[in-house]
Amino acid sequence: MVLLVMISLAMLSLSTIQLRSSEAGRDAEEAKTNARMALMMAIAELQKTTGADTRITAPADALSTSDAQTSKHVRQLTGVWRSWEGLDHDTSTGRPIAPDYDIKGAADQSGSGNGRFLRWLISDDTQDLYDPSNPPALDETSETVPLLAAGTLPSGSDQEVHVVPTEISNDNGRGAVAWWIQGENTKVRLKPTTAPVSTTEAVDQMVVSPGPSGDAFSIEDSSETDKALTQPSLTLVKNSSSSGAADPAEFFHDLTAHSKGLLTNNANGGWKRDLSIFTESFAAISEPFPSLTLEPGEVYEASKQHVGAGAGSALIYPWGNQTSVYPDAVSWSALVEYMTQYRRVQSSGNPITKVPLYSSKTHTDWIDKVRHLPVLARAHLVVSLTAREDTASSTYVPSILITPVITLWNPYSIALDTSNYNNMQFALSDVACPVNFQFKVGADSVTKDLAKIVAHATNNSSNMTCYIPIASPNLWLPGEVRVFSPQGNAIANKNIKSKITFVEGYRPDSGLSYKLLNNANRYYPAQPGTVQYSVGKATMDATFTGPNVKGTGLYFTQKLGTGSNASTTNVQNMLDTDDAQRMLGEEVVLTATSSASLSSLASSPQPVLSVIMGLRYGRDTNPNRDNIMVNGIHNMNPTVGFIVGGAAEADEQDMQARFDGFPYNIQLYAVNSYADPGMPSGITDDLEGYIGSGFGASDGLANLVLLEIPSRPLRTIGALQHFNVNACDDAGPYTLNALGNSRTSPFIESDEIRVKPVGGGAEYGHDHSYAINHVMMDDWFVSSITPGMNDWSANQSRSMEDVYADHLSGSEPLPNHYYTPANAMGVSDAAGEAADFLSYEDAWQKVAAELEVTGMFNVNSTSELAWAMLLKRNFSGGDGPGVLTLNDSTPGNASASASLVENSGTPFPRTLISSDSSAGAGGYTELTQPRRFTDEQIMALAREIVAEVKKRGPFLSLSEFYNRQLSGDSDLAQAGAVESALMRLAEGGSSENPFRDLQTIFTDTASSVTPTGSPLTYPFPAAAEGNPAYGFPGWTRQADVLRPLSGILTARDDTFVIRAYGASKDDSGKVLAEAWCEAVVQRTAEFVDGSDKYALPSDDEQSYGRRYEVKKFRWMNPNEI
């Protein structure tokens, strides 16, 4: 009965195509009738098997189960699987769990869930079509008929399809039928493109792919490709200069003229939800609202904001800790505020857009708000020997000088206007680290720690409040770095709770001066100026307890403004309680210093130690002590709101006992002059500071753009890689660019997404890439239906209603031009429809049903050429695609500009505007500039991606493709498919490696031991390996590659090509006539049973799924097969 229903549906679909025959004779007509019957049977089976949203289709060679792979697992054979349907997470909270990946290689037993495989899409009933481990053979034999052969494919191809036909009989005689189905979304579809005529259009091509390249198919000009109605007609757009190359039509398994798709949830069914309309109409949306589909027919409902949250959690992770002041994730309100930051742009027409500083005064508001302001890049405490002169007696008191030097950084792609805040405060607690110095004054030896010296002079207080003049000049360019130090000469015995004014530049004679204590804890008496004063060694006191905190490092509260009205922006510390000796060594060996007289030190202080709390660097800069390095900065987000270690979080034992898990690193440098490594950059009044690869102009970066604030409405969901979902998570890993990436932390076990303390206790932290990919990639998309904005401005050029109406009428495509109207209409009708539709409160839940995706691409594709051309993209005109790059990044330069830098190769820029290419000396700028992949490297990347698909596939959800596997397999658990492919390229020394230049400069690899020689151990050691340059914008990551493609990726086919065969036979079985036909069918939004297309389907409802329609049909001659 089911088959009859399916056939009737197929016949209804076919009735929309007029079928005419020019063949004469009953036999030929009967063969055609049988071919049509075969086509109907194929459509019926396709409807039954793949009509539901929760169906995955993939080539047979994408099946990853090693014991199921055979030579018959070929890419011209398509299989169908059930998606995860809730098996990859807790179905009450959505928290990800490790699914059983092996069930991909097991057949589904009547929906039992023990297997996911359903069938192979071919008609051969002489073979088992339901066994994933033993697919039907497609080889030519005496019993088979060809469905895909030399008439379509190049001569000698091993990717032909030959099928044993099924015998049929009826009142008119005997016959035979056969059919074969292949997904079109595993192939690449070219799009007409034009060369950009403005900077804005060039940037748009970096954000949304202009279209795949046709180079591999002998098609350079894609302007006519949309007119190709069939695969063979692609030959008409072949390059005139490519006479010896293969015809485009011969790339049957790689290139298509047909593919479209639907924006359905691959994992659990239903439509994806639109973040564009969601954010633009957020105020009108009722609570609770659906945020995550847990399983077919079941959703999690969330609240909007954490403060005053209703029944559902407002956190983007529904399973997160809702009661903590520092929860696992921020709220949906924070996401909305991030996506609408373009409304705060103050500039107009200049690609260097600017926004005012913003931060909330209350910690709890951080969960619902977005903060952007200069962040601490580095805090130096330079300890020097000095002396105070008693002019009356011409004697000198041995003293020490502490000079704090603060380096601030705008990490964003947008300029920050600080004119609404004149100062930034840094309240440092217990600024003197627990170091015992052995001083020598004349013949006497004195051993004292800095904290006691400071506390004795300040009534047992060792706090310092630094006032940084951030508004002079008030414009902080994208990526700008500035350095500040105390104003004037050294201040003696200052009560350092009070204000210390800083000015730009580094002044070595400034700071706070304290008299040396003798062994009786009294001030050392004044001495003649000729007495020699020196320091021998320094030792770590691991049991040090300051008045406020315990350990070693710096603890600071960062605020905007002054007084009680200041807005707290960050509370951060870097502590290591009982492990200071283990991690830094019991003895800090200082450079031997020649004795200096007290009189000379009074005018020329002698530096002896530089204590630094700074962001991770791309290389080891400490010649005295190996840095504790992990593989780059991808777990070192400098903008997280709260960094904690030490006794503040007793359960975080694994990470508190070491420094390599934190964004900031503690380093102690033995110094002997102001030019030594580890000292602040230069002795100058210049504002310019340096980060990234060093501390100074010779090895550091004066400009580094790391994160993006939207200066325009988002075009794709991939742009959310810059959204700090973990902005308030006080426990590491401190993931940078979470969404779209996949590299995990060595502190998380390979099959987990959270840190498990070695000694037991509550889990903490997250693999934030895994978590946010899991929440977002299947359930949400970005339609780009937002107000139209003037270039680089907060002024609207079109309302959101006008943008949608123009899309419906075809007057102007959406900014994401892959999204086309499912039902186009005239201009007058479109205006009314747009206004009515967008007035609905749930338009954000329904709009996906009104869209089709032209060129939607199935990530289970095993076509290297399709992947390569998708990645390369078709950038028309010029010397190569232009990347918007900052010019002249001199701090505060109000006249700075940005221009397009063209060059050969395919770029993957991380941000809309890249760092100043002259911001670093020598090759250090390589850290800041996007890699440009050569054609060879693109092909190599495509090859490695396909290799990863075959190791992991088929992906049973889109988020599974983005994420690593939660398993004990080290290779599969480190990173997702594309990231792993990039890692494979980085391992090679050939021209296929796009990172060779970076690896030549940054040769260090992650340490396996501490500076004291103790082994560094991790729950997942392999995840700590790699180059320290990893994570900088110059090292291309998965999210960079997938951002411009993220709006068109799926884990299934919605468009299929079907080839069907029919034969008429006489009573003896002799073939009298044969006929072949080909149809292209496409899944539509409507359900077969006529139910509401917007409804969320359950596992049992709408069992036939969404209706397929025949879009193209043709009869084929035998020589075309």
Q: Which of 6-20, 731-745, 835-849 has the highest mean pLDDT?
A: 835-849
Q: Which residue has the higher pLDDT, 98 or 245?
A: 98
Both tokens of 748, joined, read: 């998380």
Question: Could you write out the three-class secondary structure of 1014-1029?
Answer: CECCCCCHHHHCCCCC
**DSSP label at residue 337:** H
**DSSP label at residue 524:** P
Decide if pLDDT at 288 tops 90: yes
Q: What is the pLDDT, as a whole number, of residue 579?
A: 42
**DSSP label at residue 394:** T
pLDDT digits (tens, 9 = 90+) for 473-500: 999 999 999 999 998 877 766 655 557 8
Q: Is the pTM of this model over 0.75?
A: yes
Both tokens of 401, joined, read: 């000088």
pLDDT digits (tens, 9 = 90+) for 581-601: 444 555 556 655 668 999 999
Model confidence at 221, in pLDDT bands (50, 70, 90)?
A: confident
Q: Which residue has the higher pLDDT, 243 or 914?
A: 914
Decide if pLDDT at 865 tops 50: yes
Phi, psi torsion values for 986, nearest 5 degrees: -70, -20
Cα separation, 994 vs 975, in Å, equals 19
Diameter of the chain measured on Cα atoms: 130
Cα separation, 552 vs 529, in Å, equals 35
Nearest by Cα to 396 from 557, 605, 206: 605
pLDDT digits (tens, 9 = 90+) for 349-360: 889 999 998 766
Cα separation, 724 vs 741, in Å, equals 13
Strand bridging mode 532-540 / 395-409: unpaired
Give me the count of residues in the chain.
Answer: 1121
pLDDT digits (tens, 9 = 90+) for 355-391: 998 766 566 677 898 888 898 888 888 999 999 999 8
Cα separation, 453 vs 1065, in Å, equals 105
Count CB neighbours of 445 within 10 A.
11
Nearest by Cα to 750 from 536, 561, 972: 972
Task: State the residue for tokens 């091993």.
Answer: 158
Averaged pLDDT for residues 778-806: 96
Q: Which residue has the higher pLDDT, 544 or 168?
A: 168
Averaged pLDDT for residues 1044-1056: 99
Both tokens of 814, joined, read: 């959406």
Please list, residue by residue across 649-682, b when 16 or more beta carbons sit within 10 angstroms of its beta carbon and e when fewer do: beebebbbbbbbbbbbbbbbbbbeebeebbbbbb
pLDDT digits (tens, 9 = 90+) for 691-747: 888 888 888 899 999 999 999 999 999 999 999 999 888 778 889 999 999 999 998
Decide if pLDDT at 649 tops 50: no
Model confidence at 24, in pLDDT bands (50, 70, 90)?
A: very low
Both tokens of 611, joined, read: 């204590």
- Least confident segment among 632-646, 729-743, 807-821, 915-929: 632-646
The gap between the terminal CA atoms of the chain, to the nearest Å, is 33
Q: What is the pLDDT, as a whole number, of residue 340?
A: 97
> Are 592 and 599 spatial neighbours (Cβ–Cβ below 8 Å)?
no
Count CB neighbours of 489 within 10 A.
11
> Are 144 and 1016 spatial neighbours (Cβ–Cβ below 8 Å)?
no
Percent of the chain with pLDDT over 70: 83
Please list, residue by residue across 293-331, b when 16 or more beta carbons sit within 10 angstroms of its beta carbon and e when fewer do: bbbbbbbbebbbbbeebeebbbbbbbbbbbeeebbbbbb
Task: Find residue 538's DSSP bridge partners.
Answer: 437, 588
Count CB neighbours of 121 within 10 A.
25
Q: Classify the C-alpha dihedral 200-202-206-207 as positive or negative.
A: positive
Cα separation, 1114 vs 943, in Å, equals 34
Q: What is the CA radius of gyration of the chain?
A: 33
Following DSSP, what letter does each residue of 58-77 receive, concatenated? EEGGG---GGG--TT--TTS
Decide if pLDDT at 778 tops 90: yes
Nearest by Cα to 407 from 90, 686, 766: 686
Strand bridging mode 780-781 / 273-274: parallel
Decide if pLDDT at 624 tops 60: no
Task: State the residue for tokens 């047979």.
Answer: 60
Going through 153-275 in order, the beta strands assigned E by DSSP cover 161-163, 166-170, 173-183, 188-189, 255-256, 260-261, 273-274
Decide if pLDDT at 1095 tops 60: yes
Cα separation, 553 vs 576, in Å, equals 8
Task: Find residue 514's DSSP bridge partners.
Answer: 400
Cα separation, 925 vs 916, in Å, equals 8
Q: What is the pLDDT, as a whole number, of residue 65?
A: 58
pLDDT digits (tens, 9 = 90+) for 888-941: 888 888 889 999 999 999 999 999 999 998 888 777 889 999 999 999 999 999
448: buried, middle or exposed (CB in 10 Å: 19+, 13-18, 0-12)? buried
Q: How far is CA 338 from the centre of its chain?
A: 16
Task: State the residue for tokens 């001495």.
Answer: 527
Count CB neighbours of 624 within 10 A.
17
Going through 264-348 in order, the beta strands assigned E by DSSP cover 273-274, 289-295, 298-302
Strand bridging mode 819-821 / 851-854: antiparallel
> Are 846 and 822 spatial neighbours (Cβ–Cβ below 8 Å)?
no
Decide if pLDDT at 12 tops 50: no
pLDDT digits (tens, 9 = 90+) for 944-980: 999 999 999 999 999 999 999 999 999 999 999 999 9
Report the run of H or E that residue 716 belongs to, with start and end: none
Q: What is the pLDDT, as a whole number, of residue 171?
A: 72
Model confidence at 779, in pLDDT bands (50, 70, 90)?
A: very high
Phi, psi torsion values for 662, nearest 5 degrees: -110, 150
Phi, psi torsion values for 397, nearest 5 degrees: -100, 120
Q: Is the peptide bond before 954 cis (omega within 30 degrees of 0)?
A: yes
SS3 content of the chain, % helix, strand, coil (to 5): 20, 25, 50
Nearest by Cα to 873 from 186, 259, 215: 215
Decide if pLDDT at 646 tops 60: no
Q: What is the pLDDT, as a whole number, of residue 488?
A: 80
Q: Which residue has the higher pLDDT, 87 or 2?
A: 87
- Least confident segment among 573-582, 917-926, 1028-1037: 573-582
Decide if pLDDT at 580 tops 60: no
Question: Residue 811: which residues within 8 A CB-CB, separation 6 or more?
Answer: 805, 827, 830
33: buried, middle or exposed (CB in 10 Å: 19+, 13-18, 0-12)? middle
Strand bridging mode 481-486 / 499-504: antiparallel
Both tokens of 122, joined, read: 């071919």
Q: What is the pLDDT, as a whole number, of residue 13?
A: 46
Question: Residue 1071: which residues within 8 A CB-CB, separation 6 or more?
Answer: 176, 1063, 1064, 1065
Mean pLDDT of the chain: 85
Question: Residue 15: which residues within 8 A CB-CB, separation 6 or more?
Answer: none
Averaged pLDDT for residues 110-136: 90
Averaged pLDDT for residues 814-819: 97
> Are 1108 and 1053 spatial neighbours (Cβ–Cβ below 8 Å)?
no
